[in-house]
Amino acid sequence: MKLWGGMFSEETNEQASSFHSSIGFDKRLYRQDITGSIAHAQMLGKQGIIPTADAAAIVSGLEGILADVETGKLQFDPQAEDIHSFVESELISRIGDAGRRLHTGRSRNDQVALDMRMYVKSQVDEISCLLADLLNVLLQLAKTHVGDIMPGFTHLQKAQPITLGHHLMAYFQMFKRDYGRLADCRVRADEMPLGSGALASTTYPIDREYVREQLGFAKLTENSLDAVSDRDFCIELVSALSIIMMHLSRFCEEVIFWSTDAFGFIEMSDAYATGSSIMPQKKNPDMAELIRGKTGRVYGSLMGLLTMMKSLPLAYNKDMQEDKEAVFGAVDTAKECLAVFCGMIESAKFNTQAMLYSAGGGYTNATDAADWLVKQGVTFRDAHHITGKLVLYAVENNKPIHQLTLDEFKAISDVFDESIFDAITIQACVSARSATGGPAQSAMAEAFESAEEYLKCLKRSKG
């Protein structure tokens, strides 16, 4: 029996009923739905809105349903309209008329808002743990490779020498910001909407504060219209997940071209690579490619949510049922990608010799030659011009800058002397960049200390 069928004299069209039903996907909210209903029933009994005996029977019945679902003893009815009607119908079948009192003082509108907020909070916690794992892996890899020199790029052209540790810590910073975005999202999801009713609260003497405490929310929603029609917290979560996926995709793009023969910087573990059905020599970075591809799924969920919400008048509209599949899909994709990426990058083998050799090409020490001139009193603009001519000469003669003779240097500018050679070694180029945030080992030591303290804070906050 439908929860809303009293005034309807005609059965819902079979196709329309299937189209309308959400049990196929919102069944994953069963734990949130039952937990919220238990707190609601306890409040109804405490407030004398329903008999305490009925409240106790409801709580006992709901606990039994939860246990049976989790053990597999109770299967979801595919004919149910949604998870809310399934739980309530099952409750009534178990305890009788007392179960019909459960929905007193609430609507499915504030019920589903509660379920979704509880779900978002739980998923933020799980995804945050995955991010913390990745941050730890990146930090350990960076410390291992703090002295391994590689080329840094702009426009995918060799620019200046850095270290692999420095490069990895750039991604540490990205995922650190992602962690912060999720924490911010959780704050705004942590508001308890139950008691908002369909849109205008309720005439019953409910105790929202009691329910808030029982369910572990930080605060109550402050406007019943907004509480049932707000899905900002869903959009914010998927937005944060989209940025996480963007960062994963950027890193995967680098992993993909690093693993080519042209670069040869990295080799995937056999556990995270595949081969070709026809070419026996191939070792393909399929996991990285799949993560890059799956990023579009999460973006699609975000665009779907924004588009679904953009024209909805207050308060609840059935369009909002579309929030669930978008959120569920984005959450599942991001969690899987984070777990796979973490294992993939931790098990990869970096070819540090190839990186060092590559860093020596492409005139990545040209900036340091210009900086040397500035330190001799030449203006930067003149130094830039002189060094540009020096690079042009080196290119025309097919020689790296550091292999030019002093006479060749002086032919470009009389300012050059023997000390230029010490200033433009690849090692010197890196070690001289000791400003905070730079690749020099002294600067990296500061970065590691800061990162370790950040991770300790995360651990304490979770502990």
Tell me the catalytic residues.
Answer: 155, 276
Contact by Cβ (8 Å): 98, 166? no
Count CB neighbours of 136 within 10 A: 18
270 token code pair: 């056999």
Contact by Cβ (8 Å): 348, 323? no
Q: What are phi and psi of 135, to 5 degrees?
A: -60, -40
Instruction: Output the CA torsion sign for 45, 49, 53, 56.
Output: negative
Query: Using N-to-C axis directions, what is the helix angle for 83-95 and 30-46, rounded to 10°?
Result: 50
Contact by Cβ (8 Å): 420, 373? no
Residues in the chain: 463
Q: Is 162 exposed, middle or buried (0-12, 13-18, 19+ CB in 10 A)?
A: buried
The answer to whether the peptide bond before residue 183 is cis (omega within 30 degrees of 0) is no
Contact by Cβ (8 Å): 58, 102? yes
Long-range contacts of 208-216 (CB under 8 A, 24+ apart): 210/42, 210/43, 210/46, 211/39, 211/40, 211/43, 214/39, 214/42, 214/43, 215/35, 215/36, 215/39, 215/114, 215/118
Which 3 state secondary structure label does DSSP give 360?
coil
Long-range contacts of 321-326 (CB under 8 A, 24+ apart): 321/22, 323/116, 323/231, 323/234, 324/22, 324/25, 324/26, 324/29, 324/116, 325/25, 326/234, 326/238, 326/301, 326/302
Q: Is 60 exposed, middle or buried (0-12, 13-18, 19+ CB in 10 A)?
A: middle
Contact by Cβ (8 Å): 117, 134? no
Count CB neighbours of 414 within 10 A: 8
Bridge partners of 267, per DSSP, are 349
